[in-house]
Amino acid sequence: MSATDRIWTAGLVIIGDEILSGRTHDKNIAQIASWLQVQGIRLSEVRVVPDIEDRIVEAVDTLRAANDYLFTTGGIGPTHDDITVDAIAKALGVQVVIHPEARAMLERYYTGRGSALTEARLRMARVPEGAELIPNRMSGAPGIRIGNMFIMAGVPHITAGMLDSLTGELEGGAPLLTETIGCWTAESEVADLLREVERAHESAQIGSYPFFREGRVGANFVIRSTDAETLKSCVDTLCEALGENGLDFTPGGI
């Protein structure tokens, strides 16, 4: 199997009581999943955990062992409850240290704004020993890269900037291609048809997403494959099968 044929996967740990309480709505899952697909990596599992060290350690250990890469968001700020770095260092069995380059970045950032690098702000220079930095053009505080792990901020636009810095840096397979077919039908009416079409295209997957609009039931069928020819064949076969069953369908979705 070549590197492009292999399926590369990533896990994601979302850290923060504010997510679990509903005070903050997470936006990082979608943008990280989309970014990973372009890199040829599939997001295989997401866990949302509270600001409790043992829970973070457990999630990190489990998802890191099960995937090629692990991403975390949240808990790397300046306050006492930002414990992600400590938890990951514990999971890896290393010490937490002040990264000299991170300290210099923060010092430049705050002094350039007429402020000082306080002890609280210096917490954002703490990393697990042996870590590298992920640049952050937004707030001066860098993300952290250690082994196959990427420790990022929880603020979505800062996360996006860190992902941009990592673009092209990770090894992956072929990007996942998708096409959508919309149809005014209950998905239960075409469940067997979808199963047969998918079975005939081994390297394609079909997801069914029902909806209710304008007083009618419908579904969007999302076809995914890393191979363009397989994707086209699967789409064509599905459209033909829907037509043969007297169903109206809309390429691109409804």
pLDDT tens digits along 85-142: 999 999 999 999 999 999 999 999 898 888 888 999 999 999 999 999 998 888 778 9
| pLDDT-above-70 percentage for the chain | 98
Range picked from 56-70, 173-187, 234-248 for highest mean pLDDT? 56-70
Contact 100, 131 (CB under 8 A): no
Q: Quick one: pLDDT at residue 3? A: 46
Q: Quick one: pLDDT at residue 173? A: 80
Question: Is residue 211 located within the same domain as residue 245?
Answer: yes
**Across residues 19-48, what is the average pLDDT?**
94
Question: Is residue 118 located within the same domain as residue 21?
Answer: yes
pLDDT band for 5, please (50, 70, 90 cuts): low
Q: Quick one: pLDDT at residue 1? A: 42
Contact 208, 197 (CB under 8 A): no
Question: Is residue 125 located within the same domain as residue 237?
Answer: no
- Domain holding 243, by residue range, is 177-251
Question: Is residue 197 located within the same domain as residue 108?
Answer: no
Q: Is the pLDDT score of 214 beyond 50?
A: yes
Supply the pTM of this predicted model: 0.79
8-15/69-73 β-pairing: parallel
Question: Is residue 21 located within the same domain as residue 100?
Answer: yes
Question: Is residue 129 located within the same domain as residue 212?
Answer: no
Question: Is residue 101 located within the same domain as residue 198?
Answer: no
Sheet containing 41-49: which strands, arranged edge to edge? 41-49, 8-15, 69-73, 149-152, 143-146, 132-134
pLDDT band for 198, please (50, 70, 90 cuts): very high
Pick 13 or 7 by higher pLDDT: 13
**Residue 203 counted as domain residue:** yes
User: How many domains is the chain partitioned into structurally?
Assistant: 2
Burial class of residue 33 (count of CB atoms within 10 Å of its CB; 0-12, 13-18, 19+): middle
Pick 181 or 175 by higher pLDDT: 181
Q: Pick from 109, 131, 166: which residue ends a domain?
A: 166
Q: Quick one: pLDDT at residue 2? A: 46
Question: Is residue 223 located within the same domain as residue 148?
Answer: no
Q: Quick one: pLDDT at residue 140? A: 79
For the chain, the average pLDDT equals 91
Question: Is residue 28 located within the same domain as residue 139?
Answer: yes
Q: Domain with 48 in it: what CATH number?
A: 3.40.980.10
| pLDDT-above-90 percentage for the chain | 72
**Residue 27 counted as domain residue:** yes
**Across residues 213-240, what is the average pLDDT?**
92
**Residue 172 counted as domain residue:** no
**Alpha carbon of 105 to those of 125, 131, 135, 163: distances in Å?**
9, 15, 9, 19
Cα(208)–Cα(180) distance, integer angstroms: 10
Per residue in 143-167, pLDDT tens?
999 999 999 999 999 999 999 999 9
Question: Is residue 158 located within the same domain as residue 193?
Answer: no
**Residue 1 counted as domain residue:** no
